[in-house]
């Protein structure tokens, strides 16, 4: 596993499975330009997403779908559309460790030059007064942890536990140091 820095404590967590699966991929990076990371394209093939051809296509939902499926939870029908994750699992008022977080983000459409609402999704690993600490794919073009402003949160969703909620599912308070993310896609 790559160096998680101040988040190294995550390596000692004994679950949930969706988080453990996600941690296996820390640091995977998309290839800019004409190339593509074969690992990311392989995730799409594993999930049966035949229309996914390039790693520069937003892949936060793809990454989350891979982690969910490998952990035994079916992803939503349209996992590449980040906002579709707001209907996955069960809703939560207070997100906790490994919950799926769904965010909104405004982008300028390069064709129309008009603002559009898009989404981003990842897993809760902590929070501070201003932001959630989110483990996800396509955060600055890699699998990483980013601080995302609380004001952007659309939904928090929890896995539907088959046996019972793991004991370590809890709120995690972390330092509020560092910039807020603006580089997810």
Q: If you write DSSP's letter for every residue of 50-76 in order, what string do you get?
A: TT---TTS--HHHHHHHHHHHTT-PPP
Answer yes or no: are the C-beta atoms of 125 and 172 closer than 8 Å.
yes
pLDDT tens, per residue, the chain with 185 residues: 458 999 999 999 999 999 999 999 999 999 988 899 999 999 999 999 988 999 989 999 999 999 999 999 999 999 999 999 999 999 999 999 999 999 998 888 888 999 888 899 999 999 999 999 999 999 999 999 999 999 999 999 999 988 889 999 999 999 998 899 987 87
Question: Could you give the strand order of the β-sheet that contains 142-149, starting from the edge strand earlier in sequence?
Answer: 90-91, 153-158, 100-108, 115-127, 131-139, 142-149
Cis status, amide bond into 16, omega within 30 of 0: yes
Q: What is the rounded distance in angstroms from the CA atom of residue 176 to the CA atom of residue 178?
A: 7
For the entire predicted model, the pTM comes to: 0.94
pLDDT of residue 2: 56
Which phi and psi (to 5°) does residue 81 adopt? -85, 105
């Amino acid at each position: 596993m790559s160096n998680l820095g101040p988040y190294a404590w995550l390596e000692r967590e004994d679950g949930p499975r969706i988080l453990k699966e996600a941690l296996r991929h820390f640091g995977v990076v998309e290839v800019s330009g004409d190339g593509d990371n074969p690992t990311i394209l392989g995730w799409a093939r594993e999930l049966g997403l035949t229309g996914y051809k390039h790693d520069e296509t937003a892949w936060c939902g793809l990454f989350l779908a891979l982690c969910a499926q490998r952990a035994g939870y079916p992803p939503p029908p349209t996992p590449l559309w980040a906002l579709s994750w707001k209907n996955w699992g069960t809703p939560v008022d207070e997100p906790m460790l490994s919950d799926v977080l769904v965010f909104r983000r405004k982008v300028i459409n390069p064709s129309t030059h008009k603002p559009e609402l898009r989404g981003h999704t990842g897993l809760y690993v902590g929070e501070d007064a201003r932001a959630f600490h989110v483990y996800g794919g396509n955060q600055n073009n890699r699998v990483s942890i980013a601080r995302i402003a609380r004001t952007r949160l659309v939904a928090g969703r929890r896995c539907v536990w088959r046996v019972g909620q793991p004991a370590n599912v809890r709120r995690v308070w972390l330092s509020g140091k560092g910039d807020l993310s603006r580089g997810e896609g």
